[in-house]
Amino acid sequence: MANTDVVIVDYDAGNLRSVQRACAEVGLSARISRAPADVLTAPRVIFPGVGAAGPAMQSIEATGMRAALQEFLATGRPLLGICLGMQISLERSEEQCTQTLGLLPGMVRRFSFSDHTLKVPHMGWNRVRQVRPHPLLAGLEENDEFYFVHGYYPQPSRDDDVFAVSDYEFDFPCAVGRANYFGTQFHPEKSGRVGLRLLAAFRQWDGTC
């Protein structure tokens, strides 16, 4: 694992090469791996993914990745969850009533709108408003937008764990975290310069807030 700056966790939840390419663009040498041992020895971990919570958790349980992620988090090294990877980091999801990893207290809720013309999934670019400072959101400006594709959103138990919100009929949490864990509902790897800036900040991040 020499020269690997970050391990991208592969658990059969979508194509991870776009994350790897975006890491390369900001100077992070990233390796895609499905081996728990690689996660345990990694300097940093990105936990990405798209898809549904149920099959994702089955894959994580079957490969022993659950324990590896919990153990990695306990080391204090930086862990970044993206989209489904972030969602299943919470305790449970309304999607298929799934019990998830519980790396962060809270749950994942399904979008439900009073305005029936609103389309689901929430797909496209939307503004991200910082509600609490965080090193990974440094430099975020009022008009900065990120790319989203999702039908569910995270709701941490503690307000202090919400770092940014986005508006889709109501303000929903889109960047959450605690200590050395940070997770985004949006896709920094598909969000142009603004997203690359977040990944560059992750490269520098020591895992403290």
Specify whether 83 is catalytic. yes
User: Does 125 engage in binding with another protein (CB under 8 A)?
Assistant: yes
Smaller CB separation from another protein, 67 or 123: 123
Task: Confirm or reject binding of residue 10 to another protein (CB under 8 A).
Answer: no
CA angle 121, 54, 52 (to 5 degrees): 25
Tokens of 173: 């949490």
Cβ nearer to another protein, comparing 185 with 191: 191
- Residue 56 or 176 with smaller CB distance to another protein: 56
Give the closest residue to 87 by CA, choosing from 62, 58, 51. 51
Per CB under 8 A, the segment of 58-66, 121-129, 172-180, 200-208 that binds another protein is 121-129
Contact 174, 165 (CB under 8 A): yes
Here's the x/- map for another protein, 73-112, by CB under 8 A: it reads as ----------------------------------------
Torsion of CA 133, 113, 52, 147, to 10 degrees: -50
In the sheet that 170-178 helps form, which strands lie side by side, from edge to edge?
30-33, 6-9, 45-47, 79-82, 181-184, 170-178, 162-168, 129-130
Among 167, 170, 171, 204, binds another protein (CB under 8 A): 167
Nearest to 188 by CA among 106, 81, 91: 81
Give the binding site for another protein (CB under 8 A).
14-15, 17-18, 21-22, 24-25, 50-51, 119-126, 141, 143-145, 147, 149, 167-168, 189-196
**Residues with a known catalytic role:** 83, 187, 189
